[in-house]
A and B are shown apart, each in its own frame.
Chain A
Amino acid sequence: MRQSIIHWFKYASPQSFYPLAGRMIPWFWAAAAIFGIAGLWISFFVAPTDAQQGEGYRIIFVHVPASWMSMFIYLVMAFWAGLGLALNTRVSGMMAQALAPTGALMAALSLWTGAFWGKPMWGTWWVWDARLTSELILFFLYLGFMALQAAIDDPRRADKAGAILALVGVVNIPIIYFSVKWWNTLHQGSTINLNKAPSMAQTMLWGMLLMALAFWMYSIAVALTRVRAIILERERHTDWVKHALE
């Protein structure tokens, strides 16, 4: 028991997490490539043409994964930020900081692909409805988190301020998720529901899930690369960094 706790805390130190992350990154890239190729193949060559939306619906294969990841990364970021606030572990704050730009990118892609889907189907790039507006707020939360951290010189204090912002912002995630139920919105309801069969063809569902996995693996690979840079930036005056780069 005691030993397993020690084992887990071992990787909570930047010193052992830095090389571990370096070893994991190529595997996540490989997984992202495999899922991405399979997902794109299904997206364009296996999934049938939609009866109502023709070929235009194929935007779903990037729109839904980007939207899912934008919300999921926020939860993971808030989790790490909260953990850092509670336990004062160094790597937690660095993980939160490393995830924010990738989350912002996913939110931006979700909005962008949504606009490119909305234009042909609804006749407008943008409407101020609940789903779209709450996703836009998510994008601003990421930007606010990054700007707040960048504005505070002391990294530990930046972590704490960022953590509070991230935790308060979590309230926005259920709002995005349930917005299509709670309000009348132009945005369609969720295609995948936990308590009923998905309202789409099996092959479309597989394409979407594979693309979501590719986006997920991509996010981990990029965040780990960025966290390595952050570790070195913050720990540059420690002995282990001086020895690690020999």
Chain B
Amino acid sequence: MHWNSVGEFFAMGGYALYVWGSFGACLVLMVVEPLLAKRRLSEVRETLARERLADELDHQSGSS
């Protein structure tokens, strides 16, 4: 371990902007992308569930 303090770690030997700008961008995009993919999946599932319900209601009102 070659960091003497937390401050030294975050300073990155004067390259803080560049190192944290790079790792930060990766972190942000790699958190957002899976959330968007999951939302897309849950949205289509909800739509399908609504359609199913609508079909069932159609069916009930049709048979009565």
Contacts and interface: CB of A to CB of B under 8 A. Distances in A.
Given A101-B33, A222-B33, A242-B52, A55 B26 contact: no
Given A54-B13, A54-B15, A56-B13, A232 B48 contact: yes
Contacts of A63: 22
A113 interface: yes
A10 interface: no
B19 A229 contact: no
Given A112-B25, A232-B48, A54 B41 contact: no
B18 A117 contact: yes
Label chain A's interface by main secondary structure: helix
Determine the interface band of chain B, counting residues with CB < 8 A from chain A: 20 to 34
Interface in A205-246: 218, 221-222, 225-226, 228-229, 232-233, 236, 241-242, 245
B30 interface: yes
Nearest to A47: B2
A102 B44 contact: no
Given A66-B26, A105-B29, A242-B52, A232 B34 contact: no
A232 B51 CA distance: 13
B57 interface: no
Contacts, number: 91
Nearest to A234: B44
B9 A44 contact: yes
Contacts of B19: 55-56, 58-59, 116
Label chain B's interface by main secondary structure: helix
Contacts of A26: none
B48 A236 contact: yes
Nearest to A221: B34
A225 B38 contact: yes
A53 to B, nearest CB: 8
A245 B50 CA distance: 11
Contacts of A119: 18
Interface in B22-52: 22-23, 25-26, 29-30, 33-34, 37-38, 40-41, 43-45, 47-49, 51-52
15 contacts: A49-B2, A54-B13, A55-B15, A56-B18, A59-B19, A62-B26, A102-B33, A105-B33, A116-B17, A116-B19, A116-B22, A120-B15, A225-B41, A232-B41, A245-B48
Interface of A: 44-45, 48-49, 54-56, 58-59, 62-63, 66, 101-102, 105, 108-109, 112-113, 116-117, 119-120, 218, 221-222, 225-226, 228-229, 232-233, 236, 241-242, 245
Closest 9 CB pairs of A and B: A55-B13, A56-B15, A229-B41, A113-B22, A225-B37, A229-B40, A55-B12, A54-B13, A232-B44
Interface of B: 1-3, 9, 12-15, 17-19, 21-23, 25-26, 29-30, 33-34, 37-38, 40-41, 43-45, 47-49, 51-52
